Amino acid sequence: MAQQDTTYQLSSSQLWTRIWTRLQPCRGKLILSTALLVLAVPFVNFHPLVWGFVADHLVEQTLTPRLLGMWLTIMLVTYLIGLALGAFQSYILEKAGQAFVRDIRIELFSKFQHQTLAYHHDHSSGELVTRMTSDVDAMEQSVLQGVTTLFEEVVTFIVVAAMVLWLSPVVGAASILPLAFAFIFIQKYNRKVKSVYEGVRKRLGNIGSFLQDRLAGIQVTQSFAREEAEKEKFEEKAEGFYESSVTASRLRNTYFPVVSTFGFLNNLVMLGVGAWLILKGSEWFTLGALIAYRGFWWRLQSPIRTIAQTSDILQRARAAASRIMELLDEPVRIESPEKPTELPVVNGAVDFDRVTFSYIPGKTILSDVTFSVAAGEFVAVAGGSGSGKSTLLNLIPRFYDAVDGRILIDGNHVKALELSSLRNSIGYVGQENYLFSGTVDQNLRYGKPEASEEEIFEAASAANAHEFIESLPQGYQTEVGQNGVKLSGGQRQRLSLARAFLTQPQILLLDEPTASVEPESESLIHEAILKRTREGEGTTILVTHRVDLLQQAPRILFLEDGELVGDGNHAALTLACPEYNEAYHRWEVEESDTPAQRVGEAG
């Protein structure tokens, strides 16, 4: 399914505000982690001062074993304290990071679950999976770990800069000056690389989407011997990702050496100015101070290099975070009203009042459709391909919303009802029904997890599925595989029918339930449907073009180009509706010509 182009854009401040809002549950851990970090940095970076003090005592010949032991003890203790604080800080931060990832993924999954069918038809599942896994990981690693690393290095830089300025304001200021140019260069790089990383993330999403789509359709690919053609398409997408990644790499590997050069200039200045002052006999700069500076040089340059690398990581994070926020900011088009009407005990009456619908503006699928179905009634819906039959069913549980007109359940407008309450009163079985990975029993219980074993057996028997389930290697505990891959098409449909029967819906919607199934399963499914209607177990609306079902249906609604042109039983429509009469005879000929190939039409 083609994806819609989007112009979604967030400024950096808007993006980080959204991220910070979602970090609310972790703020206590983040504050503690920050406090531990601020405490740890001075302890970890204290040892160069010890080197300087010891060196000066050696030059002055005032170092005693006791004094040396004291400085060595101080050096070890401060380092171990800093190390312990840093380890605890890392644990707290990682715990916060994992909680952040968990909450974002839960929020995304919930969003996907509540989005409309139209949304899922317009967005590739592979793209959504990529965003939920790869992009969330990238955001977590970059946002929490990257930001914390950045903060740690900034704190380190400030602490070390304060120390070198304390040792010698002249040498310290001269050493820090080249690093200012590095910060300016980092800002320019950030602006340039932002769009590049957005392109990299987008192309990675395209690869995930294409891969999932083609793996799902591998049988079609092999049946048409299109393996090489699909390989070429994938190579094209992989090449696009490669080019984007190489562009980013080229920028990165041009930028990092320049930043490192500025950091090394700091080393030259520090050694040159410091040595010059010692040669001049300065009282304010000693050999011990120069040795201490040598230890601090690495801690001054390291933050610059790390900030450069972290800045690059944060640009990747920005691209990933923007893609995630785009999904979270996408409004849910179909929701329960703020003050929903309580749905009383459902009888099952369904009314369409001048309903009009279109998937695309200007292309009407249903036009001014009006009819009423009494509670407990069995109604068949027939029509040619594209006449709007399946769409009509999809409007009742609000998989889509009508553009105009009203749909009522027992006199209540569906848009005024609590969405879960509405859908809990409806059972839906389509042409192709998804079975989840798991056992037969787990799939049957999907709509009613608390169902008893007796209820499970009754629903399976009502759908003519009990016998074949019992014949499976482990009966109801047999694993069906993803989408029931270990079962035949007819078996999958009968399980889907049993799953719907188990919830005992007052309204059962059936959309060509025997399309693409073997004749034996088709007759069993027909028998199950007709048995339900004979026993008066709720309202049944069945989309079909099977002649035997049309002959037995007490009432048929016939659609032509989105308009309701016929309403009556088979005998009445044959006489009064020429469109139905023509279609019926065509279907009759098709079934007699190909009795073993029952392939349904999509409405």
The pLDDT score that the predictor gives to residue 238 is: 87
Q: Which of 25-29, 143-147, 156-160, 431-435 has the highest mean pLDDT?
A: 25-29
Whether the Cβ atoms of residue 379 and residue 555 lie closer than 8 Å to each other: yes
Residue 490's closest CA among 468, 459, 457? 468
pLDDT band at 598 (very low <50, low <70, confident <90, very high): very low
Residue 1 lies in a domain: no
- The arithmetic mean of pLDDT across residues 30-52, rounded, is 86
Is residue 357 within a helix (H) or strand (E), and if so which, with residue range? strand 350-360
The pLDDT score that the predictor gives to residue 577 is: 94
35 and 139 share one domain: yes
Residue 592: phi and psi, rounded to 5, are -75, -30
CATH number at residue 512: 3.40.50.300
108 and 124 share one domain: yes
Q: By residue range, what is the domain housing residue 58?
A: 12-329
DSSP helix/strand/coil, 380: strand
CA atoms of 556 and 542, how far apart (whole Å): 9
The pLDDT score that the predictor gives to residue 602 is: 38
210 and 356 share one domain: no
Whether 516 shows a pLDDT value over 90: the answer reads no
Rounded to 10°, the helix 169-216/147-167 angle is: 170
Token output for 217: 């359709």
Whether 603 shows a pLDDT value over 50: the answer reads no
CATH number at residue 167: 1.20.1560.10
Please give the tally of structural domains in the chain: 3
Residue 5 lies in a domain: no
CA atoms of 549 and 526, how far apart (whole Å): 7
- The arithmetic mean of pLDDT across residues 218-232, rounded, is 75
Whether the Cβ atoms of residue 421 and residue 458 lie closer than 8 Å to each other: no
Last residue of a domain, one of 299, 329, 359: 329
69 and 181 share one domain: yes
Residue 453 lies in a domain: yes
Residue 551 lies in a domain: yes
Whether the Cβ atoms of residue 18 and residue 133 lie closer than 8 Å to each other: no
The per-residue pLDDT for range 89-115, each reduced to its tens digit, is 888 888 888 888 888 888 888 888 888
594 and 497 share one domain: no
472 and 580 share one domain: no
Residue 6 lies in a domain: no
Residue 130 lies in a domain: yes
DSSP helix/strand/coil, 406: strand
The pLDDT score that the predictor gives to residue 527 is: 82
Residue 444 lies in a domain: yes
Give, in order, the Cα–Cα distances in Å from 454 to each of 380, 469, 474. 31, 15, 18
The per-residue pLDDT for range 343-397, each reduced to its tens digit, is 777 889 999 999 999 998 889 999 999 999 999 999 999 999 889 999 999 999 9
529 and 467 share one domain: no
The pLDDT score that the predictor gives to residue 476 is: 94
- The arithmetic mean of pLDDT across residues 197-220, rounded, is 74
Whether the Cβ atoms of residue 354 and residue 545 lie closer than 8 Å to each other: no
Residue 392 lies in a domain: yes
Whether 574 shows a pLDDT value over 80: the answer reads yes
Whether 567 shows a pLDDT value over 90: the answer reads yes
Give, in order, the Cα–Cα distances in Å from 181 to each of 151, 169, 178, 310, 315. 19, 19, 6, 17, 20
353 and 485 share one domain: no
The pLDDT score that the predictor gives to residue 595 is: 47
Last residue of a domain, one of 501, 517, 547: 501
273 and 409 share one domain: no
Which strands sit side by side in the sheet containing 563-568, from one edge to the other?
A: 426-429, 507-511, 539-543, 378-383, 555-560, 563-568
CA atoms of 269 and 285, how far apart (whole Å): 14
Which strands sit side by side in the sheet containing 412-413, from one edge to the other?
A: 363-373, 350-360, 404-409, 412-413
Residue with the larger pLDDT of the pair 340 and 598: 340
419 and 439 share one domain: no
CA atoms of 584 and 553, how far apart (whole Å): 14
Last residue of a domain, one of 329, 364, 385: 329
Beta bridge partners of 351: 372, 408
58 and 203 share one domain: yes
154 and 167 share one domain: yes
The pLDDT score that the predictor gives to residue 454 is: 92
